[in-house]
Amino acid sequence: MCDYTSYIDKATEQFRQLLIEQLARQDKMEAGESAKDFGKMEKITVGVCGGDGIGPIIVKEAERLLRFLLADEIASGKVEIRQIEGLTIENRLALGKAIPDDTLAAIKACDVLLKGPTTTPKGGSMESANVALRRELDLYANVRPVSVPEKNIDWIFYRENTEGEYVLGSRGIEVPDKLAMDFKVTTKSGTRRIARAAFEYAKNNGKTNVAIVTKANIMKKTDGNFTAICHEVAAEYPGIEAEDWYIDIMTANLVNEAIRDRFQVFVLPNLYGDIITDEAAQIQGGVGTAGSANIGDRYAMFEAIHGSAPRMIEEGIGEYANPSSIFKAVEMMLRHIAMPVQADRLAKAMEICNETEKKVVVTGNRDGATCARFADYVMETVQKL
């Protein structure tokens, strides 16, 4: 039999270090602030940032739409919209920073950010602006709504964004040719905050059911705790039912037409959330059709899920870019800042414009409408509701 003593000693020391680090992270979260209650805030500041490529074109229309939907709130001073400059690839490269210091300070002076896509250079050492923003703003909830009105599907997924298998994914242990071991971590504070985000959403949007999706029958410590902590949080939300599901049967449920339309809000650990949200987006029509938000206690960022489409700019067809994904981000932002009525009006208008009436169609090319014309069409439709 081999002598593994040196591997075991090394692994034990590594595990000790991981525990120290993860406990420190947990304690830092525990000492952190509670989530903002936008419904009770006197003033909400919305930062708007164009980004690169088609970003400034679609964000200009998204801002016009936002100003139209929130005209009363802006006039009364309840909402302020601020331009955030400096997140262009030229500026980031010139300064050698994923987020220039003054841009980050300006973002941190806002409550929420509506962001256009940002280009990440291939190669080099420049970090993605998105990865840097998630870390700097501690955006722990990845939120993806999926909607297929004709099939009565209206789901929203709250995927934990900072723990599970991901936080220690590159810190596993290996005994060459013999064994490999990775670590998965669930903290009390990390789970509480994602659970709270899901239940707050349910409460603020008239939802009555939250599905807690894990594999707690097998991953008894991590997923077992995730489930238990979600139920502790659920107890603070009377009227909202919390149901336990296992990830394997839930992946089947999403394609089971007999029951899938009963689900409303899902809360999941990181890995299951990563996988099942792509399945759900595919049911909606493809991964390119879903909007996405990154939410933390203090800050939240809303954006289109596509990139900066540099080729459209090179070909001079940037103004024909489809703004639907960033408009979906606007809808998500309105819900987040406790303005569900305005969000519902936008969602209804988007359904009419993109699914039923389709009087103005954006194709992403000169044969279709421009981004600005489509924005006009959406606003005209909102006005008719």
**Residue owning tokens 């993109």:** 354
Number of Cβ atoms within 10 Å of the Cβ of 243? 12
Task: State in angstroms the smallest separation of the CB of 120 from ligand NAD.
Answer: 4
Q: Please answer whether residues 331 and 347 qualify as being in contact, where contact means their C-beta atoms are separated by less than 8 angstroms.
A: yes
Q: Please answer whether residues 133 and 164 qualify as being in contact, where contact means their C-beta atoms are separated by less than 8 angstroms.
A: no
Q: Tell me how far apart the alpha carbons of residues 377 and 385 are, in angstroms, rounded to a whole number.
A: 13
Task: State in angstroms the smallest separation of the CB of 77 from ligand NAD.
Answer: 31
Number of residues that bind ligand NAD (CB under 6 A): 18
Residue 214, beta-bridge partner list: 246
Q: Per rule CB under 6 A, is residue 382 in the interface with ligand NAD?
A: no
**Residue owning tokens 């708007």:** 48
Q: Per rule CB under 6 A, is residue 311 in the interface with ligand NAD?
A: yes
Give the DSSP per-residue string, 36-79.
P-GGG-S-EEEEEE--STTHHHHHHHHHHHHHHHTHHHHHHTSE
Q: Using CB under 6 A, which residues numbered 285 to 304 contact ligand NAD? A: 303
Q: Please answer whether residues 159 and 146 qualify as being in contact, where contact means their C-beta atoms are separated by less than 8 angstroms.
A: no
The residue of the chain with the least Cβ separation from ligand NAD equals 307
Query: Which string of x and - marks every residue 314-353 that binds ligand NAD (by CB under 6 A)?
Result: -------xx-------------------------------
Query: Which string of x and - marks every residue 47-86 that binds ligand NAD (by CB under 6 A)?
Result: -------x---x----------------------------
Task: State in angstroms the smallest separation of the CB of 113 from ligand NAD.
Answer: 12
Q: Please answer whether residues 155 and 146 qualify as being in contact, where contact means their C-beta atoms are separated by less than 8 angstroms.
A: yes
Out of 312, 339, 343, 353, the only residue in the binding site for ligand NAD (CB under 6 A) is 312
Which of 139, 309 has the CB closer to ligand NAD?
Answer: 309
Interface with ligand NAD (CB under 6 A): 54, 58, 117-120, 130, 303, 306-312, 321-322, 364
